[in-house]
Amino acid sequence: MTALPEATFMAIAADRESGAAELAERGLDLAAAVAAAAPSAAEARARAAAVALRLAEVRPAMAPLGNWAAAFHTALVAALGRGETPADAARSVRAEVGGRKRAVVEAVVATAREALAEARVVVTLGYSSTVAESLAALPGCRAVVAEARPGLEGRHLCQRLLAGGGFVTCITDAALALAAADADAVIIGADAIAPDGSAVNKTGSRLAALAAADARIPFYVLADGFKLDLRGHPTVEVMAPGEVWPEHPELCRNVPFETVPARLITAHLTDEGCVLPSAIGARAEALRTLWAAVTADTGLAERPDDDEDEPRE
């Protein structure tokens, strides 16, 4: 099989501004391009499967990258089975899966709009394109956004909301509890969801959840079913310490993601409505079917797993 474009994977791995949903779009573009250039249907299937597996590895805390690529692979197999050429199949399937992905996001936004219909002040942390769209769908609601150090992704969310005419206040991460005391809800996106209902997101998310519990307001996770991580213990990444303090990286540790336990989550606002954490794992079987097809086309017995509970260095 032709070697995959490693430089593109590394660019995705290095991206600190885009959310998981946006990086998943880039992954779909890559899968389509690689499959379209294949000389045969068998090669196209193998390439698409390899891309899905590589995307699952390159940002292990972001489950949608691999999951959506796995969905692309399954749809590609069906299109090739109908006699489409690799190029035609890749093109049509990219449009099909992209449409499905867009519909899933719109369904999450609709769920959030209903759950937060009465909210006047909502606190969030960092950047999530789904959170941005959901807040934009709440006219008159003020978003209080923690800036999410060291990457300051929250400022990106503020700029996006302001560009759309939204009401925004930017705060430091340390002010989350203070802000929650005057808010109606705290919301976050998620880079991955475990079958037990816990969520992986930007570090500071667990503090935001604790602040919501202390203020006795709901803590919602906005996430669709493609963010489910079948490993059950989403991998937490460790990034360059110089991002924390460029002049003294030797003093720093930079863990950009953390797990929010299910007990601190009021509900997941999903493409299938408002779901309790205890019920979130019901989507696992559909994803297992996708990954079974991927691994069958790569000759692997199972999806790559990670037995380490500690963050990766």
Domains of the chain in sequence order:
6-104+286-296 (1.20.120), 107-283 (3.40.50.10470)
Average pLDDT, the chain: 91
β partners of residue 169:
144
* Mean pLDDT calculated for residue range 31-48: 95
pLDDT band at 2 (very low <50, low <70, confident <90, very high): low
Q: What is the pLDDT of residues 131-168, one digit of tens each?
A: 999 999 998 999 999 999 999 999 999 999 999 999 99
Question: What backbone torsions phi and psi does residue 170 show, to the nearest 5 degrees?
Answer: -100, 135
* Digit-coded pLDDT (tens) for 220-240: 999 999 999 987 665 667 889
Retrieve residue 79's tokens: 């299109």
Please give the pLDDT value at position 4: 82
pLDDT at 234: 56
- Per-residue pLDDT band for 282 (boundaries 50, 70, 90) equals confident
Beta-carbon contacts of 108 under 8 Å, excluding residues fewer than 6 positions away, are 130, 134, 222, 223, 224, 269, 270, 271
Residue 302 has pLDDT above 60, yes or no: no
User: 10 Å Cβ neighbour count for 17?
Assistant: 11
Name the pTM for this structure.
0.88
Per residue in 84-99, pLDDT tens? Answer: 999 999 999 999 999 9
**Could you tell me the pLDDT band of residue 252, with boundaries at 50, 70 and 90?**
very high
Tell me the HSE value of 208 on the side-chain side, using a 13 A CA sphere.
35
Report the pLDDT value the prediction gives residue 108, as an integer from 0 to 100. Answer: 97
Q: How confident is the model at residue 276 (pLDDT cuts 50, 70, 90)?
A: very high
**DSSP secondary-structure letter at 2?**
P
Look up residue 67 and give its two tokens.
Answer: 């999951």
Q: Quick one: tokens of 207? A: 């503090």
